[in-house]
Structure 1
Amino acid sequence: MSKIREAFQNGKAFIPFITCGDPDLETTKAIVREMAARGADLIELGIPFSDPTAEGPVIQGANIRALSGGATTDRIFQMVRELRTDVTVPFVFMTYANVVYSYGTERFLSAAAEAGIDGLILPDVPYEERPDFAPACEKYGLDLIAMIAPTSEDRISMIAREATGFIYIVSSLGVTGTRTNITTDIHHITAIIRQVTDTPCAVGFGISTPEQAREMTRYADGAIVGSAIVKQVAAKGAGAVSDIGDFVEKMKAAVRS
């Protein structure tokens, strides 16, 4: 069983996201350590990109700050190596196909695996282009995380059958960002998924409160939160570490309740 699957073995999972290098990599390391210590089951590490098409203004801003601060793919790999001296929770990179292609797909995936990454999310790679990355991911022991959107209806089963690690259910159309209401029928989507696979599924895009996280995990196996955390980094930088820890603790308690 992959480390990512194991993250869902002890109850509902809480999965926080952080943009690496926002505002600097030392702060990212401190936040990741705090998240792990406060109960995160799996951590998504965003590699900044100049054109993050799936992201709303909050994470776009984080990408700009990280790139301006000198974050590079190589420096992020080194950061992961340093974190792996003491942090054991699974890590998943979230980035874009261009970042992987420009680095060299094999070179990127082998370096990611060597650094201690467990999986990869590429939100701009549709199911049909999965073969461009899946065999190399498998070669280096990385789970290529599939994404299922509210518009995926007639493709849900097809996508779910080939999923590894966990399935990322996109809670709402559009880009990342906090939402007041999430109206997608998560129960319907998870029911279709469970007809074809036992791969766990987690809901992301728009979740920002413990109440939303609790509601989403009535049917899904985990909740993913990004923008609500990145907002705290934007507001306080290195001063946000303990606040983010408190937030992770509350969200973990909510998904487990």
Structure 2
Amino acid sequence: MNATRRGTHPSPAGPAPARFDQVLAHARAENRAALATYLPAGYPNQAQSLRILHRLAEVADVIELGWPYSEPALDGPVIQQAAAQSLAGGFQVHHLLESIRALATSPASVLVMAYYPPLYKYGLERAAGELAQAGAAGVILPDLPIEEADAWLAAARHHGLHTIFVVAPSTTDARLRRICAAAGGMLYAPAVAGVTGSTGPLHDALPAFVQRLRAATDLPIGVGIGVSTPAHAQEVSLIADVTIVGSALIRTIDAAHGPRQQAAAAVDLARALNAGLRRPNRSRAA
């Protein structure tokens, strides 16, 4: 498989949420899972972040940009440190918006991962409007309960943004139905229990959980949190529509020395992850 797919991706033109749907449909037509790579905006600094993101957008189908936050409940030490580095370097929301705009003509679609407190502090309507105008397709909200999501959902719908919920295996059927009715773009399933950054095996119950999600919705299923190796990515590709990798990418960047080396190392990992995402037959992931 050609890991650098520029020229074979759908055109970036059109509304960003439709662009996200189209990118996933394109991956499905190629009988592979889509690759989503996560980095906090402004990490390791804004200029270097933009350099790395542009390179990743030539390989990944989706760029997931984190809105750095000082109390990220779902994130382990690797992402916490990367977000802290961005904040210490002077991160402001306009850096996030700049990053989204910089990727507007890239082959990849852009999602934002945001915790609710900074989103609320910034203003839900203002945040949704500015993110949509910059070119984001949607927002992943790992800490927003569906029971408290009405205000955000109204703002997101008003501006045409997908809202992507992280769904725990412990979610009841009734609550899952409510989440599926409100969600857009995809559902996000954790590959392991606990916070991001795990390098151990994926949860044994993950395939059954993804099947449960598929029985509840026609939305694509993304799997992240604990996907750290090409072998993990290949395992996820057999059951999910999107393979999401973050902490492993940050560890790779941290281990490289110099801007060019960091960007090259990030792309090399993305290519290695991509190599196993094509499925062995034409059946839909299930």
Instruction: Compute the TM-score of the two structures, normalised by the length of structure 2.
Output: 0.84
**Using CA pairs below 8 Å that are at least 6 residues apart, which structure has the higher relative contact order?**
1
Q: Which residue of 2 aligns with 1:178?
A: 198
Shift of 1:23: 1.5
- After superposition, residues 23-42 of structure 1 pair within 5 angstroms as 23-38=44-59, 40-42=60-62
The more displaced of 72-81 and 107-116 is 72-81
* Equivalent position of 1:205 in the other structure: 225
Match of 2:273 in 1: 251
Match of 1:92 among 101, 105, 111: 111
The structure 1 residue matched to 2:189, chosen from 146, 163, 169, is 169
Structure in which a larger fraction of residues adopt helix: 1
Equivalent position to 1:121, from 134, 140, 157: 140
Residues of 1 paired with 2:58 and 2:132: CA distance?
A: 23
Alignment of 1:76-87 (within 5 A): 76-84=96-104, 86-87=105-106
In 1: Cα distance, 2:58 partner to 2:107 partner: 10
Which residue matches 1:6?
22
CA offsets 1:154-209 (integer angstroms, 9 cap, x no match): 34344234321011001222111132111242222222222232110010000111
1:63 equivalenced with 2:83 (yes/no): yes
Change in Cα spacing, 1:96 to 1:228, as seen in structure 2 (3 Å) is: same
CA RMSD of aligned residues (A): 1.6
The answer for the alignment partner of 2:14 in structure 1 is none
Structure 2 residue runs of 5 or longer lacking an equivalent are: 1-16, 280-286
Q: Report % sequence identity.
A: 33
* Separation (CA, whole Å) in 2 of partners of 1:175 and 1:233: 20
- Deviations 1:15-44 (CA, angstroms, capped at 9, x unpaired): 110111112111111111111112x11110
Deviation at 1:153, TM superposition (A): 4.6
Equivalent residues of 2:193, 2:203 under 8 A apart: no
Q: Residue 150 of structure 1 contacts residue 172 of structure 1 at CA under 8 Å; is this kept in 2?
A: no
1:148 corresponds, among 167, 187, 205, to 167
Q: Hey, what does 1:108 align to over in structure 2?
A: 127
On the 8 A contact 1:156/1:189 being kept in 2, the answer is no
Cα distance between partner residues in 1 of 2:37 and 2:95: 21
Give the deviation of 1:108 after TM superposition: 0.9
Q: Give the Cα separation in 2 of the matches to 1:64 and 1:79.
A: 18
Match of 2:37 in 1: 16
Consecutive unaligned residues of structure 1, counting only runs of 5 or more, are none
User: Could you tell me whether the CA contact under 8 Å between 2:197 and 2:247 is conserved in 1?
Assistant: yes
Which deviates more from structure 2 when the two are superposed, residues 156-165 or residues 55-64?
156-165
In structure 2, what is the equivalent of residue 222 of structure 1?
Answer: 242
Quick one: which amino acid aligns to residue 26 of structure 1? Answer: A
> Following the alignment from structure 1 to structure 2, what is the Cα–Cα distance between the partners of residues 222 and 75?
26
